[in-house]
């Protein structure tokens, strides 16, 4: 059902591709922010729009069919470059850079700006759920093999302000194909949102 593409790429080739495409995504993230916040006049907006349409046409002159997918190398390196949360080529992704401690805990420090707003000046509750789904999912996969969310419960303790944030998660229990994980998002004053999830080992990874 899920097709992970295997590509025979060397570490050097992957680094070369990253050097080409990552800066573009970083620039488009800035454009996304400016698109929301700009107050320039109608003529300037129209001129900028024409430039963007031309840029899009140039990029589309050669493009893959459909979404980026998840590409793996024979050595096991995974390229989730299109991922909505961590994808380095995806301007929608903050992107999160998730670290792993020796004890299996996963954590990241990140910044959410205007593009992630729900209530005025605050993170959209669904964006908090998006971040937590991903961080908990990474914690559920200590061996690097994917686990998929079975269910997740997110509890909102208080409104989460836009700006610098932290998230972390760890496994609390494993029961057969089910891995139980808990985690949270915090700002400088403490936890704003917490979550518990049950992650399932896919059939094709079971013994």
Residue 162 in contact with its own copies, rule: CB under 8 A: yes
38 near its own copies (CB under 8 A): yes
Does 28 participate in binding its own copies (rule CB under 8 A)? Answer: yes
Residues facing residue 178 across a β-bridge: 175, 200
Q: CB count, 10 Å around CB of 9?
A: 18
From the list 6-14, 52-60, 102-110, 166-174, the region that binds its own copies by CB under 8 A is 52-60
Q: Shortest gap between Cβ of 142 and its own copies (angstroms)? A: 18
**CA angle 49-53-58, nearest 5°?**
150
- Which member of 7, 44, 100, 173 binds its own copies (CB under 8 A)? 44
* Pick 5 or 10: Cβ nearer its own copies: 5
Distance CA 1, CA 17 (A): 28
Q: Which residues in 93-112 contact its own copies (CB under 8 A)?
A: none
| 6-14, 117-125, 165-173, 177-185 -> range binding its own copies (CB under 8 A) | 117-125
Q: Pairing state of beta strands 178-187 and 163-175?
A: antiparallel
Query: According to the binding rule CB under 8 A, does residue 183 interact with its own copies?
Result: no
Quote the least distance from Cβ 92 to its own copies, whole Å: 5
User: Residue 188 interacts with its own copies (CB under 8 A)?
Assistant: no
Distance in angstroms (rounded) separating the CA atoms of residues 168 and 132 = 8
Beta-ladder partners of 112: 163
Among 74, 76, 120, 176, binds its own copies (CB under 8 A): 120
Residue closer to its own copies by CB (options 75, 151) is 151
For residues 97 and 22, is the Cβ–Cβ distance under 8 A?
no
Cα–Cα distance for residue pair 193/207, rounded to 1 Å: 35
160 counts as binding its own copies under rule CB under 8 A? no
- Residue 90 binding its own copies, by CB under 8 A: yes
Taking CB under 8 A as the binding criterion, the range among 47-55, 101-109, 172-180, 182-190 that sits at the site for its own copies is 47-55
Q: Total number of residues binding its own copies (CB under 8 A)?
A: 89
Give, as ranges, the residues between 127 and 156 that touch its own copies (CB under 8 A): 127, 129-134, 137, 146, 148-156
Q: Measured between alpha carbons, how far is residue 10 from residues 4, 13, 19, 79 in Å?
A: 17, 5, 14, 12
Q: Which residues make Cβ contacts (< 8 Å) with residue 72, sequence separation at least 6?
A: 4, 5, 6, 7, 78, 79
């Amino acid at each position: 059902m899920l097709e992970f593409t295997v590509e025979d790429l060397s570490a050097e080739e992957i680094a070369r591709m990253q050097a080409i495409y990552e800066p573009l995504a970083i620039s488009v993230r800035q454009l996304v922010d400016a698109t929301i916040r700009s107050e320039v006049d109608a003529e300037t907006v129209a001129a900028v729009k024409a430039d963007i349409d031309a840029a899009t046409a140039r990029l589309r002159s050669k493009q893959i069919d459909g979404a980026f997918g998840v590409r793996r190398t024979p050595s096991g390196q995974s390229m989730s470059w299109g991922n909505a949360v961590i994808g380095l080529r995806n301007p929608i992704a903050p992107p999160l850079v998730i670290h792993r401690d020796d004890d299996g805990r996963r954590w990241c420090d990140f910044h959410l700006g205007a593009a992630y707003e729900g209530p005025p000046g605050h993170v959209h509750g669904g964006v908090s759920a998006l971040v937590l789904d991903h961080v908990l999912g990474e914690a559920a996969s200590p061996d690097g093999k994917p686990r998929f969310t079975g269910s997740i419960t997110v509890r909102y303790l208080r409104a989460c302000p836009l700006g610098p944030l932290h998230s972390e998660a760890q496994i609390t229990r494993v029961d057969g194909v089910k891995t139980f994980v808990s985690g949270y998002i915090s700002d400088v004053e403490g936890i704003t949102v917490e979550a518990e999830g049950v992650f399932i080992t896919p059939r094709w990874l079971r013994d």
